[in-house]
Amino acid sequence: MSAPPVAGPVDLGRGLVVQNAVGLASGTAGYGFEIGQLMDLNTVGALYTKGTTPQPRPGNRPPRVAETDGGMLNSIGLQNPGIDRVVDEYAPVFASWRCAVVVNVAGSSVNDYVHCARRIGDAQGIAAIELNISCPNIAHGMDFGVDPAQAGRLVVAVREATSLHLMVKLTPNVADIAAVARAAEDAGADSVSAVNTFVGTKLRRDDGRPVLPGGTGGLSGPAIRPLALAAVARVCEAVRIPVVGVGGIVDTDSALDFFAAGCAAIQVGTANFVDPSSAARIAAGLGARAQESSPRGVLAETSRW
């Protein structure tokens, strides 16, 4: 199947219209303030914020990141300032940006997620909520993401608490990702994003102990792209709601692979650490491809991967 060129606005449903199909993945661009000094946020369609919890979290003890072949492991532990600060201080700034800001929310109980959704309310500057049911780096971070029944109950509860577009971020660390996606759709999710990181480890060669204090971390980067594409293809076949693809996207060609799998939009993650302009470059590349007769036409583009 050939990949359709994607450019211009994308309607993801329930009021979430992004100016282009490229977003900055949660956890890789913070709340936009630092990366916004290195690239123009208005060149991308959406910023998916750092995972946000009801109360501030200090995160895991360092080291939190380990480089791997073709990617990286992270065990940040959802360090964040808490939902009150995001709504009260950050959202007014978000409102001045052209890119849509989707607040990623996380928790260890249904009440945590519901609290965040209610606290967001109709705050100006926040376009949608991304439910993080797939974080591998905190206790119980994937409980909802590996059980379709639990995922469904969570989405029902949050759906009742908000009128905003509700996106559910799926974990690949599950026996049947399609079943979880269907459960989210049936419970009222407007879209799903797939996939979050894979669980991995890196050992020190001097003593065989894990580099990361928690033993494992979330593996991301181009090394996971074939695995992510396989999971995304299963999700796209299983649901009717839009799917936002993420996992190892580094350039226009790898972005087009996800559109070929059936995605409506994409998120760029680990590539931002290598080149903060990656997402802007990919958005421009997709726009250029849309002007060509072939989706695989010639476009001068370089990637550091």
pLDDT of the residue at 6: 72
Burial of 240 (0-12, 13-18, 19+ CB in 10 A): exposed
CA proximity to 131, closest of 97, 92, 171: 171
Question: Per-residue pLDDT for 22 more than 60?
Answer: yes
The more confident residue out of 133 and 292 is: 133
Mean pLDDT of 265-288: 97
pLDDT of the residue at 141: 58
Task: Tell me the range of 137-146, 265-274, 285-294 where mean pLDDT is highest.
Answer: 265-274
Sign of CA dihedral 71, 75, 80, 82: positive
Least confident of 1-5, 10-14, 34-38, 41-45: 1-5
Mean pLDDT of 194-217: 96
pLDDT of the residue at 140: 56
pLDDT of the residue at 269: 98
Reply yes or no on whether 263 is catalytic. no
Residue where the block lists tokens 């630092």: 34
pLDDT of the residue at 1: 38
- Interatomic CA distance for residues 241 and 188, integer angstroms: 10
Mean pLDDT of 55-78: 96
Written as six digits, the tokens of 100 are 């849509």
CB count in 10 Å sphere of residue 42: 13
pLDDT tens column, 215-258:
999 999 999 999 999 999 999 999 999 999 999 999 999 999 99
pLDDT tens column, 92-136:
999 999 999 999 999 999 999 999 999 999 999 999 999 999 776
The mean pLDDT value of the chain amounts to 93
Mean pLDDT of 61-75: 96
Domain ranges of the chain: 10-61+78-198+220-290
pLDDT band at 301 (very low <50, low <70, confident <90, very high): low
Mean pLDDT of 36-60: 97
Mean pLDDT of 156-175: 97
Architecture of domain 10-61+78-198+220-290: Alpha-Beta Barrel (3.20)
Helix, strand, coil percentages in the chain from 3-state DSSP, rounded to 5: 30, 20, 50
Q: Catalytic pick from 99, 116, 135, 263?
A: 135
